[in-house]
Structure 1
Amino acid sequence: MGRNLQTTERLRPVDLARGHGLSTQAVRNYEEAGILPAAERTAHGYRTYTPLHARALRAFLALVPGHGHRTATAIMRAVNEAATEEALRLVDESHAQLLDDRRTLQAVERALRDLEPAEAATPTAGMFIGTLARQLGLRPATLRTWEHAGLVRPSRDPRTGYRVYDEADVRDARLTHQLRRGGYLLEQIAPLITQVRAAGGTEPLEAALRDWHGRLSARGRAMLTGAAELEAYLRARG
């Protein structure tokens, strides 16, 4: 089947480009990147493509929404280099990342259920920046960046001047960490943290979580579409 797709029809770069809403330069770039198999050349040096190249391009474009451009490129390179196991491993890694993101979302939802009004948090003997950074798996510089963005508001030890994070600060830091893992920018997180502090106002955070659910579902479905096109390409290659 793969041989038939390669030999029954010849396509110009412009044919391949127009069929997928691309420029001819983009098609050439995809070939040079290994996303498409190498094209044959005419006696005058012009590229000629086949339906197999069109199928490869469809597979790549279908993989991008679910896996991202970099991973989709790596998958197609592996397939075109006859390293199918490597391609499948990359697909598996993307699915594992999606599963991890779903678990992160569940953790955020659990955190939301456990949120209390800011005034309910009683300042106690707090946590220093190094300890909190280690617990979250971050660098202290990241916590300082979050402080500058208003996401955490540690007090200062009156004797040493060190930052001290009380229970509310730790909660805000954990919630920021979880939302950052979910792909949210600091400027998107700031109003959510502010609302959480405002005595139980959680509607913006709940709306963000609904949006997050939608984006994860869209990625999952995009991965299914990409898998179908990739399988069709693998079959076409024979």
Structure 2
Amino acid sequence: MKSKNRTYRPVDLARTHGLSAQAVRNYEQAGVIPSAARTPSGYRTYTDDHAGALDAYVALVTGYGHRTAGDIMRSVLRDDLPTALALLDTAHVQLHRDRETLDRVASTAVLLATPTPTTPGPDRPIPVGVLAHRLGVTPATLRKWERAGILTPARSRTARIYSPEDVRDAELAHLLRRGGHPLDRIAAVIEQVHAAGGPGPLAASIDQWRQRITARSRAMLTGSARLADYLSFRDTTPHPPQPANHWS
């Protein structure tokens, strides 16, 4: 935080973060930094309160994204700290879930990258009975996997139709099921297979995925620290109440 009682122009705050002066004015209008005072000639003047809020917001954006960072800062400026902290908690819970998903996928990445079918895959859609026979399971099992979000077959008027990609997903699911993985975990793995473009690319992207989660975790830590600095500043500095909504 800067020394107290300094005043700043929009461009002064903007330069600190590589922003434009208009961006600072936009942030004020959006309610993520306090409202500025005006000189007799109508120019905005900012203080250390605004500088600290901008420091916190910019750091929060990197880790939490624009929407959550904005909601956090608007809550803080309304003196609604419980809501701000709840938003932080929710984001950390989601990050923890993402890390758990990564660990689950990483633990099966070697298996996923290994071709599992003993016979070539179909080159055209097949009905449920054919797929069930191929895997040695019942059609009821495939319907159960569908309800769990593992499979999403197309439907004709009378039956489910499984594309070659659906067959691949079913074979991967069958492999993981034999390994003792629960259905919700298998569904998460299949979702990541789709996002990566296949089992091979997924296995190759594990390290990059882990690096992204680590980078986001550190950014969230930095954002939380900047927010803590700003909250400490507000605890020791009088500040005028802010409107409930700055969006107009």
User: Does TM, normalized by the shorter one, top 0.5?
Assistant: yes
Q: In the alignment, is residue 47 of structure 1 matched against residue 35 of structure 2? A: no
Runs (5+) with no aligned partner, structure 1: 145-155, 196-203
Residue in structure 2 matching 1:123, options 131, 135, 142: 135
Q: What amino acid does structure 2 have at the position aligned with 1:75?
A: I
Residue in structure 2 matching 1:133, options 143, 146, 159: 146
Percentage identity across paired residues of the two chains: 44
Runs (5+) with no aligned partner, structure 2: 120-133, 174-184, 236-248
Deviates more, 1:110-119 or 1:69-78: 110-119
Cα distance in 2, alignment partners of residues 137 and 67 from structure 1: 29
Residue number in structure 2 paired with 1:189: 196
Alignment CA distance shift 1:230-1:118 (3 Å): same
Q: In angstroms, what is the RMSD of aligned CA positions?
A: 3.3
Q: TM-score by structure 1 length? A: 0.73
Residue number in structure 1 paired with 2:99: 102
Deviations 1:145-169 (A, max 9, x none): xxxxxxxxxxx99x95522588743
Shift of 1:216: 0.6
Q: Tell me the SS of whatever aligns to 1:45.
A: coil
Deviations 1:152-205 (A, max 9, x none): xxxx99x9552258874325578685364x6x8x5x522x33x4xxxxxxxx43
Deviates more, 1:62-71 or 1:161-170: 161-170
Alignment CA distance shift 1:10-1:137 (3 Å): farther
Residue number in structure 1 paired with 2:169: 169
Alignment CA distance shift 1:66-1:171 (3 Å): farther
Mapped contact 1:36–1:76 kept (Cα < 8 A): yes
Q: Tell me the SS of whatever aligns to 1:62.
A: helix
Mapped contact 2:117–2:171 kept (Cα < 8 A): no
Mapped contact 2:28–2:36 kept (Cα < 8 A): yes
Give the 4+ runs in structure 1 shifted more than 2 A.
Answer: 110-118, 120-133, 159-162, 164-180, 204-207
Deviations 1:75-104 (A, max 9, x none): 111111101111111111111010000111
Q: What amino acid does structure 2 have at the position aligned with 1:50?
A: T
Shift of 1:108: 1.1
Cα distance in 2, alignment partners of residues 82 and 16 from structure 1: 23
Deviations 1:46-65 (A, max 9, x none): 21101221111111111111
Residue number in structure 2 paired with 1:88: 85
Deviates more, 1:8-17 or 1:209-218: 8-17
Q: What amino acid does structure 2 have at the position aligned with 1:169?
A: D
Residue number in structure 2 paired with 1:151: none
Mapped contact 2:6–2:47 kept (Cα < 8 A): yes
Cα distance in 2, alignment partners of residues 232 and 82 from structure 1: 15
